[in-house]
Amino acid sequence: MNKLPLDSILSGDCVDLLGQLPESSVDLIFADPPYNLQLKHELYRPNLSKVNAVDVGWDKFIDFKEYDTFTCQWLYACRHVLKATGTIWIIGSYHNIFRVGAILQDLDFWILNDVVWIKNNPMPNFHGVRFTNAHETLIWAQRNKGSKYTFNHHAMKSINDDRQMRSDWYLPLCTGKERQKVDGRKAHPTQKPEALLYRVLLASTNPGDIILDPFFGTGTTGAVAKKLGRHYIGIERNPDYIQLARERISTIDAASATVLEMSNPRQQKRVPFGILLETGLLQPGQMLYFIRGGTTAIIQADGSLRCGTLSGSIHGLAKILSENTPANGWDCWLFEDRSGQQIPIDWLRKKIQNETAEG
């Protein structure tokens, strides 16, 4: 293939089809490979109803050697199509993720993070012989160690109530209307929730990026990619899954370009604290209030702050008052407005940034 088949599902074996795609052509790969669960017996609940476990043919391998060979083949093929700046996400359980991780490193991928998806509503261990398996693991890796890659840190912080996103993600299983069904039964035994893919794609891709899923299933990656204004390429062998995925994605409305814009404070115009004095928003001799402990400081004419015998920049003095832990002075210092309300000085900085952008 000389041209990328954007926003389409390719039917066939992923190793064969990946080899036909242009080299270094996709920005991100999300892979949900067979877990090799090694189930030997049927599983029943205490009420003797049968559990719909993963017992399909595509999850069965003769032994670990066969599974490792399969894993090496599809990961090598993924490396072929991934850009030098691209990354790959792989999800698995304790049955396979450690083997996948070792092979990933053997192929010179560089692991950036492992993320634990903690399920809010896991299936219990019906026999009571092990801990309830309540999580799955995602590995996030880049193709080339040290290459620039996409990580939308501020977007992750924004959807997490302005707190830095951690590597433990509490999300429910795929249930309800989102679950694809045929004749009232699950269409695919390991369908992932859209919430999981939303977080993955928002974190590590930008609008217009190309996302490839070599084990497309019923199309969760494609559905979320379309919703977020990204392109997708799916690869799937099962014609029934392909049909369900196409129908599902056709009902998705892509978000407009305006809502896909992500704010990044680092891209905004830098505003030195001294500009607040030069523009008259703050005055030399004015008092600022530290956010903790009731400490106050006086603004000096050169933009420094003096607090008793201590002096320094808004950041340096904030660090001292925070027992030498890193501190952002824009968030730590408050000024008093005409009504007597204390407001972070960052409000004044944003006022200048907005006026500059409008001008």
pLDDT tens-digit series, residues 319-357: 999 988 888 899 999 999 989 999 999 999 988 887 766
Is the pLDDT at 45 greater than 70? The verdict is: no
Higher-confidence position of 43 and 34: 34
Helix 97-106 vs helix 64-81: crossing angle, to nearest 10: 50
**129-143, 163-177, 263-277: least confidently modelled range:** 263-277
Q: How many CB atoms lie within 10 A of CB 226?
A: 21
For strands 310-312 and 305-307, give the pairing.
antiparallel
b/e code 147-163 from CB counts within 10 Å (16+ = b): eebebbeebbeeeeeee
Res. 178 pLDDT band, cuts 50 70 90? confident
Q: What is the pLDDT of residues 86-129, one digit of tens each?
A: 999 999 999 899 999 999 999 999 999 999 999 987 777 666 77
Q: Phi and psi dihedrals of 127, rounded to 5? A: -85, -10
> Please, are residues 43 and 50 in contact by the beta-carbon 8 Å criterion?
yes
Query: What's this model's pTM, rounded to 2 decimal places?
Result: 0.71
- Could you write out the DSSP letters of every residue in 78-121? HHHHEEEEEEEEEEE-TTTHHHHHHHHHHTT-EEEEEEEEEESS
Res. 79 pLDDT band, cuts 50 70 90? very high
- What integer pLDDT is reported at residue 57 of this predicted model? 57
> Please, are residues 229 and 28 in contact by the beta-carbon 8 Å criterion?
no
Six token digits for residue 277 = 């004095």
Res. 58 pLDDT band, cuts 50 70 90? low
Res. 211 pLDDT band, cuts 50 70 90? very high
